[in-house]
Amino acid sequence: MAVPREGIYGLVAEFETPTELVIAARAAYDSGWRRLDCYTPYPVEEAAEVIGFHKNRVSLVTLIGGLMGLCAMFSLETWISTLAYPLNIAGRPTYSWPAFIIPAYEWTILFAGLSAAFGMLALNGLPSLYHPLFNAPNFRSGATQDKFFLCLEATDPKFDPAESKAFLEGFRPNSVVEVEY
Amino acid sequence: MATKDFKTEDPRIDPATGELRVLAPGQSFRSVTAKIADIVLTPHTSLGWLMLFSVAGSVATMLLVAVTWLFLKGVGIWAITQPVAWGFAIINFVWWIGIGHAGTLISAILLLFKQTWRNSINRFAEAMTIFAVVCAGLFPLIHVGRPWLAYWLFPLPLTMDVWPQFRSPLLWDVFAVSTYATISVVFWYIGLVPDFGTMRDRAKSKFAQYIYGMVSLGWRGSVRHWMRYETASLLLAGLATPLVLSVHTVISFDFAVAVLPGWHTTIFPPYFVAGAVYSGFAMVLTLAIPLRKFYHLEGLVTDRHIDNMGKVMLATGGIVAYGYGMEVFMAWYSASHWEFFMMWNRMFGPMGWSYAILITCNIAIPLTTLWVRKWRTNLTFMFIISLIVNTGMWFERFVIVVTSLYRDFLPSSWGTYRATKWDYMTYAGTFGLFTALFLLFIRFLPMIPMHEIKMMLPSARVNAESVAEAGD
């Protein structure tokens, strides 16, 4: 992905309450902004809704992971018990599928859980220890603590440093800051 | 009815619901962040912490000594022999795993049921789970006789071409416990990531910023990230719920699948799970009551939490009592001479004292007193009850393991069981290990999930009316 590594990343407005953030984010989305994001200290579902982020693929990744775990363990057990190392345990059939269910069940959960966690991180593009927003002077003292941020990104065709700044200031934020890469 | 015990002007009561408050009033995003993060970020380590840590470390050293001697001499240094071939190691394994289960119940099942009061105690209950699983996992590993070959338990392509036997409950245990440990750690870590971001941004020292920055994975609180994060958390909770039920079920299969009076019963899975949650909540109380006192967390871990945990203990204790009753009933109803003798011998035989302790600690004391709300919110009382229940639950496993084995079918093969000093040292040593790990956790990690507490504050809600007005 050819991301410009110099110039302006975007404009970031700081709000005091989640309600103000949602109002501003909705207005921006409604007026055609698509490359924008909100940053909050805890999940604010309404903010995601108004910027058009309605569903994600974490559940799908988890389902695929779980099915993989199930198939992997059950076939491993079957292969080991019938072909690789058949043992006569009190005359029971080598293919004792009811007994195989338990490890297969555990691996379903193991793979699904790992897929949910790592899939979520991967879809989020994490870990990424550097992000231009950390350059904003007020971002780190607020976004993970008690302030609510709306960022209009410079890659959006509607972006114009002066005009967008005026747009954001219309919502009476605490501040609007230009963020450099 | 019970609310009558309190006057309505009692500040602990939420006037809207008539229930005890989940969070004390008058807290803001900033005050919550500061309260929780500053416990960890202060450069000053309290003297009490250092003293406790050195005591815990010394006790953990005892474990090291006991295990070293075990590796040199073999499991013969323990009291296990015929007929009681399973002793302290299995008792302690089941007991520690059971303790861990409350952490998962709090973090997963109560999340699915939208019991938001659990947010305050979620993180350290989950830490308790992980450290309890560490202690539990140790026992089967050192019990295998040749622990350096413990990797044979896993299906690995070894040069000998030998593979595990999947029809054995002991192997099911390997998968159940290893999955449980992995998922618990992952769930716990994912929960910590946003809080690590907060710690990174609040830390004053370069070193702390660097470390918390690394472990926060660059978390920046984007709402898109948050939505995926919430989905993943819910899914992990949904997966951990059947997992936690399956873990103790599989552990009960270690017993129930054997054809032995006292073990071979179908009531074992549900009654093991209930017992696990019972002892686990007792352990959460044992940890939470002193923690909230020493770190002044009364505003976040309120009387409501203590009260609710008492109620959960009452419910699970009731299930456990039903399990004990059913065991006795089935011993009679089965009309099997062996079952009947086992139960009589368990209650009145030479080791009947252990059954008496079990009934006193698990049924007689807690299930008569926990009904009273005034007592459920009395911290000293609850702390003592939590210790009593944990003792009782340890004896439950002792009773199951030892009294089912020591007098079997042939009187000529009867024996007894008397733990050696190495048994006691190993068991006591795990307390040191557990406490030391827990102390490290409260010193270096935020022990209450900050973002989850913030979600519960009144100021966290988006005012839908204002949003609608602004749209017009």
The interface predicted TM-score of the complex, written ipTM, equals 0.91
Residue B471 banded pLDDT, cuts 50, 70, 90:
low
A2 located within any domain: no
A3 located within any domain: no
Contact A58, A120 (CB under 8 A): yes
A25 located within any domain: yes
B301-351 pLDDT, tens digit per residue, is: 888 888 988 999 999 999 999 999 999 999 999 898 889 999 999 999 899
The Cα B338–Cα B336 span in angstroms is 5
A1 located within any domain: no
* Residue among B222, B229, B465 with most chain A CBs within 10 A, to mutate: B222
A14 located within any domain: yes
Minimum CA–CA partner of A143 in chain B: B221
Average pLDDT, chain B: 87
The Cα B98–Cα B94 span in angstroms is 6
Residues A109 and A158 in one domain: no
Q: Higher-confidence residue: A156 or B66?
A: B66
Minimum CA–CA partner of A41 in chain B: B221
Count of other CB atoms within 10 angstroms of residue A43? 21
The Cα B215–Cα B198 span in angstroms is 11
A96: containing domain: 58-123
Residues A82 and A36 in one domain: no
Minimum CA–CA partner of A119 in chain B: B232
A91 located within any domain: yes
Residue A49 distance to chain B (closest CA, Å): 9
B422: Cα within 13 Å, side-chain hemisphere: 22
Residues A63 and A115 in one domain: yes
Residues A86 and A106 in one domain: yes
Q: Is the pLDDT of residue B297 over 70?
A: yes
Residues A67 and A118 in one domain: yes
| Measured CA distances, B141 to A87, B54, B71, B136 (Å) | 24, 26, 11, 9
Q: Which residues pair with A176 in a beta bridge?
A: A13
Peptide bond into A157 cis (omega under 30): no
- Which positions ≥6 away from B154 have C-beta within 8 Å? B164, B174
Q: Is the pLDDT of residue B409 over 50?
A: yes
| Pick from B182, B200, B223: CB nearest A110 | B182
Residues of B in contact with A124 (CB under 8 A): 222, 224-225, 228-229
Residues A71 and A113 in one domain: yes
Residues of A in contact with B219 (CB under 8 A): 126, 144
Q: Is the pLDDT of residue A83 over 80?
A: yes
Peptide bond into A127 cis (omega under 30): yes
Q: Is the pLDDT of residue B158 over 70?
A: yes
Q: What is the pLDDT of residue A136?
A: 84
Q: At what angle do helices B119-143 and B303-333 cross, to 10 degrees?
A: 40
Q: What is the pLDDT of residue B103?
A: 84
Minimum CA–CA partner of A109 in chain B: B239
The Cα B132–Cα B123 span in angstroms is 14
Q: Is the pLDDT of residue B8 over 60?
A: no
The token pair that represents B433 in the structure block: 């290990």
Minimum CA–CA partner of B457 in chain A: A42
Minimum CA–CA partner of B225 in chain A: A124
3-state SS class at B394: helix
Q: Higher-confidence residue: A84 or B116?
A: A84
Residues A66 and A107 in one domain: yes
Domains and CATH numbers, chain B: 2-471 (1.20.1630.10)
Residue A46 banded pLDDT, cuts 50, 70, 90:
confident
Residues A119 and A64 in one domain: yes
| Pick from B220, B235, B454: CB nearest A143 | B220
Q: What is the pLDDT of residue A154?
A: 84
Q: What is the pLDDT of residue B1?
A: 44
The values of phi and psi at residue B175, to 5°, are: -75, -40
Residue A160 distance to chain B (closest CA, Å): 22
B16-61 pLDDT, tens digit per residue, is: 666 777 777 777 787 888 888 888 888 888 888 899 999 999 999 9
| Measured CA distances, B316 to A179, B95, B362, B370 (Å) | 55, 16, 11, 12
The residues in B 106-165 lying below 8 A from A, measured between CB atoms, are: 155, 161-165
Residue B96 distance to chain A (closest CA, Å): 20
B212-226 pLDDT, tens digit per residue, is: 989 999 898 899 999
Q: What is the pLDDT of residue A118?
A: 94
Q: What is the pLDDT of residue B58?
A: 94
User: Domain total for chain A?
Assistant: 2
Residue B457 distance to chain A (closest CA, Å): 11
With an 8 Å Cβ cutoff, are A37 and B222 in contact?
A: yes
Radius of gyration of chain B (CA): 24
In one letter, which amino acid is B153? L
The token pair that represents B312 in the structure block: 């959960």
Q: Is the pLDDT of residue B442 over 80?
A: yes
The Cα B116–Cα B217 span in angstroms is 26
- Placement of tokens 């902004």 in the chain: A33
* Residue among B225, B448, B463 with most chain A CBs within 10 A, to mutate: B225
Whether chain A has a CB inside 8 Å of the CB on B245: the answer is: no
Percent of chain B residues topping a pLDDT of 70: 96
Contact B256, B263 (CB under 8 A): yes
Residue B3 banded pLDDT, cuts 50, 70, 90:
very low
With an 8 Å Cβ cutoff, are A48 and B163 in contact?
A: no
Residue A69 banded pLDDT, cuts 50, 70, 90:
very high
Nearest Cα to Cα of residue B453 among A130, A42, A74, A89? A42
A28 located within any domain: yes
CA B170 to centroid of chain Cα atoms:
21
Q: What is the pLDDT of residue A1?
A: 46
Pairing of strands A175-180, A36-39: unpaired
